Structure 1
Amino acid sequence: MNDRTELTELRDLFADKPYPTADRLAPARAALLAEARTKRRLRLRAAGLRRLVPAAGLAAAMAAGVIVVQTVNSSAPANAAEVLRLAAEAATAAPWPQPRDDQYLHYERIAVARSEKGVRNVVPRHNTGEVWQSVDGSRTGLHWHKPAKTVPRGGEYKQLLVRCPERGVRRLTYADLREWPVDRQQLRRKLAERGNEMLPGKDTATQIWYGVRSVLGSPVPPAQQAAIFEIAATLPGIEMEELKDATGKPGIAVTRVDDLGPGGTVSRESLIFDKASYVLLGGQDFVPGQGREVWSVSRPQVTDALPAWSKSVTRKACA
């Protein structure tokens, strides 16, 4: 076989494969970055060291837009702080949209609430909503509240999100969060200020935790998200457990217990992460003996405009 024949066969081998653009190679690149970061956590076994893909095979796999990373099983995180540090690494490893101020972030948010022991002040519900959030808050957003799947309480509705004069705790836009510092000391103060607006009079660690939970309820830029997780990892009283997100997917959670006041009532507030990638899935609020709410937020996509059907949605005045 001559060189010309070999080149022809090599060309034919990949003729039907998609061209390896940056977008197609992004998942492989993210996998390689994640693997490089987790390498130091692997417990190598004497009888089973990591087998690396040969360089020629790696090049061919990347040319085809597909790559398989072979590793031994990594050890589970030792504690809640390690989970948060892994989440900080995951926040900046995967590709993330870079929206302009005049665009929208489109994502899904699911919330499931149920009572315990027949407590009446916790209303059972299962809400699924699609949100079109103005990046800088200057444009009218949109919320599509879909019909409940399991608990038929409340119907479907579509609502334009008109920016009204601020009352109470100010809603932060994505553009606001993009301007937040990543310096740990400055960011700790920002989170504490946010938490103090929600629960004045609490200790600093509790205020920071509530600030963390408040901010992460909607999309956060990756640099700030990573810094927030690293700060949360330093807080006292966090613990690790397994929980399911609002879609029913099992995850690994970081939970902090808060004393709500007289009578020994406590609340367990959690952040839930994917067990494999450590990407944030959502969170849970749980008051033992009363009820719990679990929420999930999907990865955002960027769009230039609201869907065409939004033109038929009645604009509501500010309340």
Structure 2
Amino acid sequence: MNEIDVLQEVFGPDEVPSAAAHDRARAALLHRINDPGPARRRPRWAIRITAMVATAAAAAVGIVALENIGAVDERGTSRPVVAALPFAKPAKAAELLENAAWAAARKPWAMPRDDQFMYVETISTLNRRKILEAAPNGPLVPGKTETVRQETWMRVDGDVMASRERGGRLEVTRRTATMSWGTIPYADLAGLTTPEKFQGWLDAPKTFGADPDALLMQQVLPPDVEAAIYRWLARQPGVQVDLHSVNLDGRPAIALTWTEEGYLKKDLLFDPRTYALIGDRLVAVDDHVRESLDGTTRIKAGDVFRLVVRSRAGIVDRPGDTV
């Protein structure tokens, strides 16, 4: 296949490059800048590349098939497509996150109404109930844990939430004058479509906020917002990648890891085939003494605080509905 064929495949009949082509060009350019290879290094001033040439370079980067990302036709019907990931074998955190961003941005999506619900199902390893109630923020106790399936529904306007644990009864709670909780306005989240906008939101004073990993695991975000958070994470110092990890349920995973508070290692786990977010965990990597209102806690390296699989998520019409 020559360069003209490559360009025709990428662009199709349109004269203007597609958003997908632009993303792949950006990813390829980042790859060339960060890892030019052993042959010869171009001087920085020489890296001036047009969108068309960059796109051809992106097509030449290792390509894999990604079949389970849906597309929506003119009738609104979802259908699977085969698409080319920016990096066939991501070896760096920035490459993993570019794949995750690229895949997230191609999910079928319609902006939810205020009266619809964000549905998230997780499978967690938790301490048994008595231990959990006595020390809700303590590490998991080996041999005294259980696996718990949890479902949550949060209305988009934040005024109704519901939950179900272990397949039991659905509990619905409505915001009242005497019952309330902190929420992030969904319109605020929907506007965070670039890493810069996300950083601005993090820096701005607000009544209620959340860490990036909590937003990704607990909210159902618009695809371009999810992609923006991944690209924001790629810019953070100390973020690393572990290509040979496993999820709580035994599935192979790629782990994005970083250290918090000097003694905790946080992992976000991605499916190595689809680059979808499938779980997270929090593990102590050093001994630490933690003082809190609950008293003094002595933490040992290797203590596990969180093991969660995110199994399903989506927008639904009412509590009890699933995807």
- TM exceeds 0.5? yes
CA distance in 1, matches of 2:114, 2:258: 34
For 1:183-221, what per-residue CA distance to the aligned partner results, in whole angstroms no more than 9, with x for missing partners? 4333213234589988xxxxxxxxxxx721121122211
1:122 aligned residue = 139
Please give the residue correspondences for 1:44-55 in structure 2 after superposition, counting only pairs within 5 Å.
Answer: none
Give the letter for the 1:297 counterpart.
Answer: R
Aligned to 1:240: 241
Identical aligned pairs, as a percentage? 26
Which consecutive residues of structure 2, in runs of 5 or more, have no partner in the other structure? 1-19, 28-56, 65-77, 129-134, 285-300
Q: 2:267 aligns with which of 267, 270, 273?
A: 270
> Please, which of 171, 177, 202 is the counterpart of residue 191 of structure 1?
202
Residue 250 of structure 1, aligned match among 234, 249, 252 = 252
Structure 2 SS opposite 1:300: strand
Contact 2:183–2:208 (CA<8 Å) still a contact in 1? no
Equivalence map 1:1-319=2 (5 Å) = 37=24, 40=58, 75-113=88-126, 121-123=138-140, 124-138=145-159, 140-146=160-166, 156=168, 158-163=170-175, 164-166=179-181, 170-172=182-184, 174-178=186-190, 180-192=191-203, 211-218=211-218, 219-241=220-242, 242-260=244-262, 266-287=263-284, 288-307=301-320
Q: Kindly tell me: are residues 174 and 298 of structure 1, through their superposed partners in 2, closer, same or farther at Cα, counting changes over 3 Å? A: farther
Alignment partners' CA distance in 1, 2:202 and 2:194: 12
**Greater relative contact order (Cα < 8 A, sep 6+):** 1
Please list the CA deviations of residues 73-110 of structure 1 after superposition, one character each: whole Å capped at 9, or x if unmatched.
x7410211111111111111121343211112333122
Whichever structure has more strand as a proportion of its residues is 2
TM-score, structure 2 length as denominator? Answer: 0.58
- Unpaired runs of at least 5, structure 1: 1-32, 51-64, 148-155, 199-209, 261-265, 309-319
What is the aligned length?
Answer: 225
Distance 1:141 1:93, change over 3 A: same
Whether contact under 8 Å (1:143, 1:158) holds in the other structure is yes
Q: Distance in 2 between matches of 1:175 and 1:248?
A: 36
SS in 1 for 2:217: coil
For 1:233, give the aligned amino acid.
A
Q: Quick one: structure 1 residues 133 and 42, their matched pair in 2 at CA, closer, same or farther if it must change by over 3 Å?
A: farther
**SS in structure 2 of the partner of residue 223 of structure 1:** helix
Shift of the 40–99 alpha-carbon distance from structure 1 to 2, 3 Å rule, reads same
Which one has a larger percent helix, Structure 1 or Structure 2? 1
| CA-atom RMSD in angstroms | 3.9
Native 8 Å contact 2:247 2:269 kept in 1:
yes
Q: What's the TM-score once normalised by structure 1's chain length?
A: 0.58
Deviation at 1:157, TM superposition (A): 5.0
Amino acid corresponding to residue 279 of structure 1 in structure 2 = A
Alpha-carbon contact 2:158-2:183 (below 8 Å) kept: no
